[in-house]
Amino acid sequence: MRQTRKYYYVNVKFVCWLSILAFVGLAAWHAEAVPTSNTERLINRLPLQAVIATGHGRYAEAVEPHGADYSRTKKHLEQALEIRLNLFGEYHVDTAASLNNLGVYYHDLLRNYTRAKEHYLRALAIQLRLFSEEQVDIAASLDDFLIGFGDFVGRAAEQDIRRLRIVLGRTMLGEEHSATATILGNLGLACKNLGQENAAIFYLKMSVNDIQSVSGSLAALWEGSVQKIFIQFREIYYHTLADLLVGQGRIPEALQVLAMLKEEEYFNFILRDARDDPRTTRVSYTPREQEQVDRFKKIAEQLFNLSEEKRGLPGVDKERLEEINSALESLTRELHDFFENLEANLKTGTAEQATAAGIEFLEDIQQMLKGMGDGVALVHTLIAPEHVWLILTTYDAQTHVRKNIRQRELFEKIRTFRVSLTYRDNQGRPAWAPLLLPTAQALYDILIAPISEDLKKAGIHTLMFFLDGALRYIPISALHDGQQWLVEKYAVVVYTDAARENLRSTRPPVETWEAAAMGVTEAHRGFSELPAVRNELESIVRRIDSTGNAVQGIFPGIILMDKDFTEDALIDALNRDIPLVHIASHFKLELGNITNSYLLLGDGQRLTLERLRDGNFRFEKVDQLTLSACDTAIELREGAGSELEGLGVLVQRKGASSVIATLWPIADESTGVFLPRFYELLLQGGMTRAEALRQTQIEFMKPPPEPSLLAAMAKFVMERLGHETAPPPDYSHPFFWAPFILMGNWL
């Protein structure tokens, strides 16, 4: 019999993976025909363990188009169940698997949730009977049970099942296991839907703290769409928890969770490579929450230990077996009492608006802000399904504002704004799209207007933005209040907690800088030539040419172009402790894929970000890293946006103090004017990097002056003589000045 089971598991794994591939591939195909498909909704929030466990029941969608006659599918599934009943009887894992398959059939294809529930409960009963022998399949049956009727027969039933599943998960898998974190997170979401906010916060805190403790490489598991699903469903827990905490006014704890979210995003970006694990933050518990955590873990530990003993107990020791079963029953009752009274127990502690560790976390941020001088504020954004939170922090105050807008509506505004910013006319030149200013103003009303009075009262001149989700795809500096661009009032910086230590460090005087300017001008396979890069690099570096003549530039240094710009040359330049490293080349960035994200080198080789992180690239002495990336290849997606930010965090963790990057391609002479002007203003002294960037943007947004009568006459004469005269360039469109973002130390 045991041999039969082993054979079954091997085949299930094979079928599961085939089914997952078919299911993910068909998601987009179903999207237009069946926009309200429950299956398509569930895939975004379904724990991947559940998808794998139930994948063999998904094949009906892959083999038959929606709306077809499913009688053949039903017949095959019923025949499989009959065969297994005849071979193995009722209480066997294979019988339970067939019942699960039928449950998926009734739920996904016939939308008959009552029949689906019957099959899931029957399968669950079998798995519980076999608990001591086949623990892993219990979680699969519980997941199918939840999928089948949790949204349709009442949240109370859903919560009961999730409660059972958390016990089994901790008993089977131990404390720090990815499935345990998922179970806790799902339980938190269920409590939120039931209106039990304190219990929801409790479970979600445990979930995200567990997630921060679980390592494991994504690269070794899966790629593509399935990997993205894994990332997305985990991040739901962070967002939901932060949303609940802000809603209760528990801002310091919410800031801890948002910092954890950024750490988790970066960890996913590097494919969960434990060698560079950034996840050091944990959300703290109130004293009342800590009491419940301790009690919960004590019960779970006892359950785990007794179950382990039971599994290894000889069958002849019936007396000890009875003792264990009695103890397990007692612990189950105790756990049931814990669940029933959790919300009430936590409510008595709601006066504890912030934990001690949370307050310390906030004070550390405010101390950082105080060290930057007056006029600096940090704005955290948090996107929830029905609203956006804005959390404004200064060195001596904090406030939060809720702006109601659906997440999908916000994303459409972000998409429209981004497309409008990069819109081109028939000649391929940037042009003013009709929706550019309206969407810039709409986003200003959402993200800035609710806190504008607070900014005025505090005398703010520099805004550090902690951006959530797709907000990272747009330049905040290009929002518009109806009269002027945001950057005309404030210097704007992108902030992550990775920059906190850099913001406290001192920088070498700019007048002592040397520069290493590197780039690519020639075309390579899959990439166009960048002829403007030569002038860009030569305008930055002051040097002696081959004839011994001084070549005008801003900083002394070296230029590495095309075949001279190699991996070894980059390493050598970094080893020379040059403060300014300027790279003008193509970048390709992919969400959650550090191995497929790379920088194009001058010899045509591709330097992956994985290699950049793991190789001997020393950025410790780099005070300013500028990535004049002409093709960042960012894919605009709802709920994403961590690609460019992940690159910034990576090089900061390698030691770079400040990073400038671009949000969209600018293969244009304007970059060769913009960045040298930024460096010139910086060299003049008396202003921060953020202010120098702001002043450069303001200079660019001014259209060229009308030519004087004398200039017009000269132009006329020159043209009559056959000489071409080019008009002064117009870089006033935000396409030219808005994409530059500053991360890290902006001082």
Torsion sign over Cα 470, 475, 477, 480 = negative
Q: What was the pLDDT predicted at 352? A: 56
Lowest mean pLDDT among 53-62, 205-214, 487-496: 53-62
CA angle 334, 337, 340 (to 5 degrees): 155
Percent of the chain surpassing pLDDT 90: 45
Q: Which residue has the higher pLDDT, 83 or 494?
A: 494
Residue 404 pLDDT > 90, yes or no? yes
Residue 272 pLDDT > 60, yes or no? yes
Q: What was the pLDDT predicted at 534? A: 92
Q: What was the pLDDT predicted at 652? A: 93
Q: What was the pLDDT predicted at 639? A: 57
Phi, psi at 589, each rounded to 5°: -120, 135
Q: What was the pLDDT predicted at 91? A: 67
Q: Is 265 exposed, middle or buried (0-12, 13-18, 19+ CB in 10 A)?
A: buried
Residue 45 pLDDT > 70, yes or no? no
Residue 709 pLDDT > 90, yes or no? no
Three-state SS at 609? helix
Q: Is-contact 493 690, C-beta < 8 A?
A: yes
Residue 301 pLDDT > 80, yes or no? no
Three-state SS at 728? coil
Q: What was the pLDDT predicted at 83? A: 87
Residue 740 pLDDT > 60, yes or no? yes
**β-strand 550-551 against 541-544: which pairing, if any?**
antiparallel
Average pLDDT over residues 60-88: 68
Three-state SS at 213? helix
Average pLDDT over residues 597-604: 94
pLDDT-based confidence at 707, cuts 50/70/90? Answer: low
Q: Which residue has the higher pLDDT, 216 or 389?
A: 389
Q: Is-contact 298 330, C-beta < 8 A?
A: no
Q: What was the pLDDT predicted at 96? A: 75
Q: What was the pLDDT predicted at 33? A: 31
Phi, psi at 282, each rounded to 5°: -130, 145
Q: What is the separation of C-alpha 524 from the centre of its chain, rounded to a whole number of angstroms?
A: 31
Strand segments (E) across 445-566: 462-466, 491-494, 515-519, 541-544, 550-551, 555-561
Lowest mean pLDDT among 185-199, 244-258, 467-481, 658-672: 185-199
Phi, psi at 267, each rounded to 5°: -60, -40
Q: Which residue has the higher pLDDT, 157 or 381?
A: 381
Lowest mean pLDDT among 103-107, 463-467, 474-478, 594-598: 103-107
Residue 700 pLDDT > 50, yes or no? yes
Q: Give pLDDT tens digits for 82-124.
A: 888 888 887 676 787 788 778 768 756 786 766 765 675 566 5
pLDDT-based confidence at 389, cuts 50/70/90? Answer: very high
Domain 372-495 - what CATH class? alpha beta
Map out the domains of the chain as residue ranges: 1-153, 372-495, 509-720+729-744
The secondary structure of residue 405, as a DSSP letter, is: -
pTM, two decimals, is 0.78
Q: Is-contact 138 168, C-beta < 8 A?
A: yes
Torsion sign over Cα 669, 674, 675, 681 = positive
> How far apart, in Å, are the Cα atoms of 341 and each of 199, 337, 445?
10, 6, 43
Q: Give pLDDT tens digits for 171-228.
A: 444 544 555 676 677 778 777 877 889 999 998 999 899 888 876 554 444 444 445 5
pLDDT-based confidence at 550, cuts 50/70/90? Answer: confident
Where helices occur in 388-435 by DSSP H, the ranges are 407-421
Residue 399 pLDDT > 80, yes or no? yes
Q: Which residue has the higher pLDDT, 28 or 239?
A: 239
**Strand arrangement, sheet containing 598-600:** 587-588, 598-600, 606-608
Lowest mean pLDDT among 210-224, 258-272, 282-296, 307-321: 210-224
Q: Going by CATH, does the domain composed of 509-720+729-744 fall within 3.40.50?
A: yes
**H or E stretch at 75:** helix 71-88
d(CA 233, CA 697): 39
**Tokens in use for 384?**
């929830």
pLDDT-based confidence at 687, cuts 50/70/90? Answer: very high
Residue 300 pLDDT > 80, yes or no? no
Three-state SS at 559? strand
Phi, psi at 520, each rounded to 5°: -125, 125
Picking from 556, 627, 637, the residue whose alpha carbon sits closest to that of residue 228 is: 637
CB-facing half-sphere around the CA of 649: CA atoms within 13 A? 24
pLDDT-based confidence at 29, cuts 50/70/90? Answer: very low
pLDDT-based confidence at 332, cuts 50/70/90? Answer: confident
Residue 18 pLDDT > 60, yes or no? no
Contacts of 407 (CB under 8 A, 6+ apart): 383, 384, 385, 386, 638
Residue 683 pLDDT > 80, yes or no? yes
State which of 96-100, 436-440, 498-502 shows the largest mean pLDDT. 436-440
Lowest mean pLDDT among 146-150, 582-586, 605-609, 617-621: 146-150
d(CA 435, CA 419): 9
Contacts of 683 (CB under 8 A, 6+ apart): 510, 511, 554, 555
d(CA 563, CA 720): 44
Picking from 343, 297, 301, 354, the residue whose alpha carbon sits closest to that of residue 202 is: 343
Average pLDDT over the chain, rounded to whole? 78
pLDDT-based confidence at 70, cuts 50/70/90? Answer: low
**Tokens in use for 511?**
């007048």
